[in-house]
Amino acid sequence: MQATRIIAVRHGETAWNVDTRIQGHLDIPLNDTGLWQARQLARALADEPITAIYTSDLLRALSTAQAVADATGAPLATDTGLRERSFGHFQGRTFAEIEAELPEQARRWRQRDPDYAPEGGESLVTLRERVTRTAHRLAAQHPGGQVLLVAHGGVLDVLYRAATGQEIQAPRTWQLTNAAINRLLWTEGGLTLVGWADTQHLDNASRDEIFT
């Protein structure tokens, strides 16, 4: 089977990103900066040969993906397998609030305990299984093509680790920038890394366009 090229993108910025408030499965929209980032992403990918676009059904990802679909004409479909990690009762709280109110749970989360799941949420092991299974399923449908996956920070983190052989509990040393372009290659043997955290389309653009 031929390889499938993957462009993986984290959604544009939200107000809760700025506030360091845990979103998880809560449906938070893009803020003005996030909408601008989505437009810049769409411009950067407008001439890419994209076979299909798959996105988390959460609004912040769907709005980002829709901008690219409008620019490229590529077909767009939602997939709940690309949703952010469910953080259960952490959702809606800031990092600081969790540290203050739930110090022992915060410690296990901070130390990346693979089997720890916030009440009502997912563990890292569960997230990894969901994301890798979804990426394999979607990529396998487009051998020789290129797909765009629009998702969330936790999803992008899993994809990076899978492509580089990083353990799930290893400290993160790579960026998960909103609306950055990340490139991977999928074969039946798994994922490999091609390029990561390309933000040229954001760095070189005029911020004056945010509110236009």
pLDDT, mean of residues 138-166? 98
Q: How confident is the model at residue 204 (pLDDT cuts 50, 70, 90)?
A: low
pLDDT of residue 210: 46
Answer yes or no: is 122 a known binding residue: no
What is the gyration radius of the CA atoms in the chain, in angstroms? 17
**Token duo for residue 67:** 């901008």
Residue with the two structure tokens 């720890």? 116
Can you tell me whether residue 71 is helix, strand or coil? Answer: helix
**140 inside domain:** yes
**24 inside domain:** yes
CA distance 58 to 25: 7
CA distance 47 to 158: 28
Residue 207: pLDDT over 90: no
Total tally of structural domains belonging to the chain? 1
Answer yes or no: is 13 a known binding residue: yes
Mean pLDDT of the chain: 95
Answer yes or no: is 14 a known binding residue: yes
pLDDT of residue 212: 39
**179 inside domain:** yes
| Residue ranges making up the domain that contains 31 | 4-86+123-211
pLDDT of residue 208: 52
**92 inside domain:** no
pLDDT of residue 1: 75
Residue 205: pLDDT over 80: no
pLDDT, mean of residues 72-101? 96
Cβ 34 vs Cβ 64: under 8 Å: yes
CA distance 19 to 17: 5
Beta bridge partners of 4: 186
**53 inside domain:** yes
Answer yes or no: is 17 a known binding residue: yes
Residue 209: pLDDT over 60: no
Can you tell me whether residue 110 is helix, strand or coil? Answer: helix
CATH of the domain at 204: 3.40.50.1240
Catalytic position from the list 84, 122, 142, 201: 84
Alpha-carbon distances of 20 from 15, 17, 58, rounded to whole Å? 9, 5, 18
pLDDT of residue 76: 98
**117 inside domain:** no
**Token duo for residue 135:** 């990426």
**Token duo for residue 11:** 């959604």
Answer yes or no: is 15 a known binding residue: yes
pLDDT digits (tens, 9 = 90+) for 124-147: 999 999 999 999 999 999 999 999
Q: Name the helix (H) or strand (E) containing 134.
A: helix 124-140
84 in active site: yes
Q: Report the side by side order of strands in the sheet with 146-151.
A: 76-78, 52-55, 146-151, 4-10, 181-187, 190-198
pLDDT of residue 211: 41
152 in active site: no
Percent of the chain with pLDDT over 90: 95
**37 inside domain:** yes
Residue 175: pLDDT over 80: yes
CA distance 155 to 28: 17
| CA proximity to 74, closest of 35, 95, 46 | 46
pLDDT, mean of residues 56-83? 98
